[in-house]
Structure 1
Amino acid sequence: MNKFNGNKFKMDYSQFKTEVSKRRRSAATRELTKIAYSTPHSVISLAEGMPNEETFPFTEISIKLNDGSDFVLEGNELAAALQYIPSQGFPPLLQVIREFQRKAHAPPLWDSREVLIVAGGQDGLSKALEAIIGPGDPILVQNPVYPGVNVVITPHNAELIPIEQDDYGVIPICLRKRLQEREASSLKMPKIMYINATGANPTGTVMPLERRKQIYRIACEYNFLILDDDPYHFMYFTDEAPRSFLSLDTEGRVIRLDSFSKVLSSGLRIGVITAASPLVASIELHMQSSHLHAPTLSQVILYKLLKIWGYDKMMEHFRRIRSFYKERRDLIVKVAEEHLLGIAEFSVPSAGFFLWIKVPGIEDTWKMVMQRGVTHGILVAPGAAFMADTSKPCNAIRASFAKASYKEMNVAIERLALLIKDELAKNRSILNGNT
């Protein structure tokens, strides 16, 4: 029996699926792998095309953690870490992740939800959207928006409906207004909204709880899902920890996307989708037809880490990296205030990795950044890359404070200031009629 059949939410999820998603069927071999992991050891399987672990050239993998603890993968455990697994994920990790999500978010009707391990946040984003967004479908997005959304839905000719943001994220009144306008014009209504409410990329905003509640109420009223892409959930710089949309979800509308890339390792390529069971089942079928499952070795490493550390020690790790990135946030703000005074504007980011800088005297930063940035010894991201309509001019710049050293950040912002000043001088020269 398919474990995803249980659904206590009073929603018809078929209305949110694309025709392609509806036509997906499970692969018998993948279902056999799932069965093999759940049957007693007395059952002998000749069904799967698994290679024999004796042929693997690896005999031991040792991992040391920065707290002084370590673990070794060898024998049967190493064999499992190097083998095929069910598409949903490494079964022991799934159990640990379920408990982690329950503690972290306390979602209503938890037994009606499932988790799925994906190969990083972008993989989860891609598969979730492709299960729901078909040709010509509209999708609500915050504006500016993470460019990873555009690269997923552009081939499907989807219609982006941009919703304005302020210093606290998406503005509910603007969301309601756009929906009212579409309804009044008998336009196709959106099935889903993409949102990045904590440490929004690129603006660094954190959405207050009351605003999240307003957006959730609007989603219920207009019957659309919320894809909550939340890689910076534990990297907030506010006094209070933000509440997730999952914690508010009484109707089964939220697809939560977590990533361990920013908080543990980007190279592990591990993310988690948490959603109502029927939605997770649709995405699992997509995985069966693509890369079968997220990397087993990465999943086993994460499982061992979570078992060694436990929930409380993982939260302690998150507190340490919050402090680490907050210091960097404070530094880039300090040097930006020093070097960009009078030529650019920015708000202090409340979470995440990025400083969103606006240059009032420049209509579009694209050519300045992409063509002349390197000659000034500075690489930053042009603002237009983050707009729902990337063809329109944008006077913003995204600068990351995550990886560069303190000295490098200071030099980089100083160089950025010189680049902006040169661009402003060139614009003035053109306005004055000089060649």
Structure 2
Amino acid sequence: MNYVFSDRVQTLKPSAIREIFKYAANPAVVSLSAGNPAPEAFPAKEIAEISEEIFRSHPIDALQYGLTEGYTPLRDYLTAYMKEKHNIGRSFDNLIITSGAQQVMDLLSKSVLNEGDTVLCEAPSFIGSLNTFRSYRAHLRGVPVEPDGMNMDALETALKEEKNVKFIYTIPNFQNPTGVTMSAEKRRRMYELAKKYGVLILEDNPYGDIRFAGEHIEAIKSLDEDGIVVYAGTFSKVISPGIRVGYCIAPQPIIQKMVVCKQGEDVHTTIWSQMICYEFMTKYNYEAHLERLRSIYRKKAKLATDAMDQYLSPKISYLPIEGGLFFWCTLPEGTDAAEFSKQAVLRKVCVVPGNAFLTDENEKCSSFRINYTTPTDENLVKGIQILGKVADEIL
């Protein structure tokens, strides 16, 4: 049979990262390509205890249909927690629980994007979100990322030049893939620019709680007195990605449309998973858990930087990080990171070439992304050492 696919998916390509995972699944391969939390970071014991109590005490609550907006106790607690802890949420805002933060990107896109509308993205940016925007046939324009976040002059130029800009997509904390954090000054300017030009900001913050160095910077959403910021949060990096629980805080009219769209996608996020998040936040020491994660990642990041200083320098440089899961490494100017990554795979080390994170994946890029959290300490050092040998051979 000749299969005819919709116009909006015909040009989509498989995620480069997911394709790399096929190689990384080989036990002989050192994977520095994933975006996974460290295995030792999962609160498996606590989740088992919570699950046992749920199915002993109120199993029907976990097994029955629930509200599309989310499990009410979790929604209520998160609303109060985010307001008290991060000054996020105003009287005009509401909150919806989603199946991971990735669904926030999809629901917002479905709610506000028409074919040909423009999304301004950091360049480079998270491939999962870029592919979501592409699936709605949006026009993507990349705005360069600097060591302190998106270039605001370039952002304003894009806002002036592009037609039908619907929103600015940003990952301000420990950005994926570069690991950089947007300064407070740039956050304020981005907000003022969005207000001036009448566009939304989609603030994606999966890594904000994994800050192990430096000073906390308030979210862009904490500035929002005008109803122009859509905030995406998730439990994927702090409890478990497998349970697929994220959330969105946004103005009520946007949430209402997202609820309708979600009803057509998955009805509601898994109730059992939502109950786990609620019980974990309210009956265990959640702040102590976050501190434990920071301690784990602080140690592993130090191990990675020591290894990169020893084995990659001076041929390969990297941007310093204060949290998150990634390092952005750069080869000498003119070197093709895609070819470098292929050579690394042949030597059984997987990294992600930087062009995978660009709005135009065919554009040349001399950088690549390393994940330092997933591999064992031994494999982390081993993988970086092999990357150094690859650089010695091909540069």
Q: Higher mean Cα deviation, 193-202 or 69-78?
A: 69-78
Pick from 344, 361, 383: which aligns with 1:390? 361
Pick from 272, 286, 308: which aligns with 1:297? 272
Residue of structure 2 equivalent to 1:198: 173
Structure showing greater Rg: 1
SS in 1 for 2:349: coil
Q: Distance in 2 between matches of 1:314 and 1:354?
A: 24
Residue of structure 1 equivalent to 2:124: 144
Residue of structure 2 equivalent to 1:131: 111
Native 8 Å contact 2:167 2:202 kept in 1? yes
Residue of structure 1 equivalent to 2:74: 93
Q: Which structure 2 residues correspond to residues 34-433 of structure 1 after superposition, within 5 A? A: 64-65=45-46, 72-74=53-55, 77-107=58-88, 110-180=90-160, 182=161, 187-309=162-284, 313-360=285-332, 362-369=334-341, 371-424=342-395
Tell me the CA shift for residue 76 of structure 1.
6.0
Q: Distance in 2 between matches of 1:390 and 1:71?
A: 46
Q: Distance in 1 between matches of 2:306 and 2:117?
A: 44
AA aligned to 2:307 is V
Q: Distance in 2 between matches of 1:284 and 1:66?
A: 28
Question: For each residue in 1:208-249, what CA deviation from the matched residue of structure 2 results, as whole angstroms up to 9, or x when unmatched?
Answer: 212100110111001110000000111123332121111110
Q: Distance in 2 between matches of 1:82 and 1:69?
A: 15
Question: For each residue in 1:286-321, what CA deviation from the matched residue of structure 2 results, as whole angstroms up to 9, or x when unmatched?
Answer: 111111001111011112112203xxx322221221
Q: Distance in 1 between matches of 2:45 and 2:338?
A: 43
Tell me the CA shift for residue 278 of structure 1.
0.7
SS in 2 for 1:332: helix
Flag the 1:422–1:302 CA change in 2: closer, same or farther, 3 A: same
Q: Higher mean Cα deviation, 85-94 or 238-247?
A: 238-247
SS in 2 for 1:408: helix
Q: Distance in 2 between matches of 1:67 and 1:376?
A: 39
Tell me the CA shift for residue 154 of structure 1.
1.6
Native 8 Å contact 1:143 1:388 kept in 2? yes
TM-score by length of 2: 0.85
Give me the identity figure in percent.
25
Q: Distance in 2 between matches of 1:237 and 1:169?
A: 18
SS in 1 for 2:350: coil
Q: Distance in 2 between matches of 1:90 and 1:67?
A: 20
Native 8 Å contact 1:143 1:165 kept in 2? yes
SS in 2 for 1:188: coil
Specify every segment of 5 or more residues in structure 2 that has no aligned partner in the other structure, as ranges.
Answer: 1-43
Residue of structure 1 equivalent to 2:21: none
TM-score by length of 1: 0.77
Native 8 Å contact 1:343 1:420 kept in 2? yes
SS in 1 for 2:233: strand
Q: Distance in 2 between matches of 1:135 and 1:391?
A: 22
Native 8 Å contact 2:50 2:276 kept in 1? no
Residue of structure 1 equivalent to 2:12: none
Q: Higher mean Cα deviation, 347-356 or 213-222?
A: 347-356
Q: Distance in 2 between matches of 1:282 and 1:247?
A: 22
Flag the 1:107–1:69 CA change in 2: closer, same or farther, 3 A: closer
Question: For each residue in 1:95-121, what CA deviation from the matched residue of structure 2 results, as whole angstroms up to 9, or x when unmatched?
Answer: 11111111122236x222111000111
Q: Distance in 2 between matches of 1:389 and 1:351?
A: 27
Native 8 Å contact 1:356 1:399 kept in 2? yes
SS in 2 for 1:374: helix
SS in 2 for 1:373: helix
Flag the 1:346–1:74 CA change in 2: closer, same or farther, 3 A: closer
Q: Distance in 2 between matches of 1:252 and 1:136?
A: 24
**More contact order relative to length (CA 8 Å, sep ≥ 6):** 2
AA aligned to 2:81 is F
Question: For each residue in 1:162-192, what CA deviation from the matched residue of structure 2 results, as whole angstroms up to 9, or x when unmatched?
Answer: 1111111112122112223x1xxxx514120
Native 8 Å contact 1:139 1:158 kept in 2? yes
